[in-house]
Amino acid sequence: MAKMNGNTSDRVLNTIIGPGCQIKGDLSLDGGLRIDGTVEGNVKAGGPMTVGSEGKIIAPKIDVRSATIGGYVEGDITAPEKLHLEPSAHIVGNIITKVLVIEEGAKFQGNSKIPE
């Protein structure tokens, strides 16, 4: 297991979907997640999620604590703490997050909303 920023268990990166790996179906876990392969299905993670530049998610719903995205994501994202879109990110869907960072070059097609 790799420790992410912070000391709590919800900051632990405990699942990695590597390049060339493809998952079809819903994915649910307590800790953090890194995706460098493809996931087709809902994603729910109690910790942070990172989608690498070659990573891809096609899901109706993505529910994570926070996220850094450098790949392609199609679906609605809820990340209560923070969502960071890197220059290589391509998002098609709606976003709900407290903090949204969009770097130059990132593509975002959808709506964003700050939770109440």
- Say whether pLDDT at 7 is over 80: no
| Chain segment 34-66, per-residue pLDDT in tens | 999 999 999 999 999 999 999 999 999 999 999
Q: Where are the beta strands (DSSP E) in 1-116?
A: 2-3, 12-17, 22-24, 27-29, 32-35, 38-40, 43-51, 56-69, 72-79, 82-85, 90-92, 95-97, 100-102, 107-109, 112-113
pTM of the model: 0.88
- Say whether pLDDT at 9 is over 50: no
| Chain segment 82-95, per-residue pLDDT in tens | 999 999 999 999 99
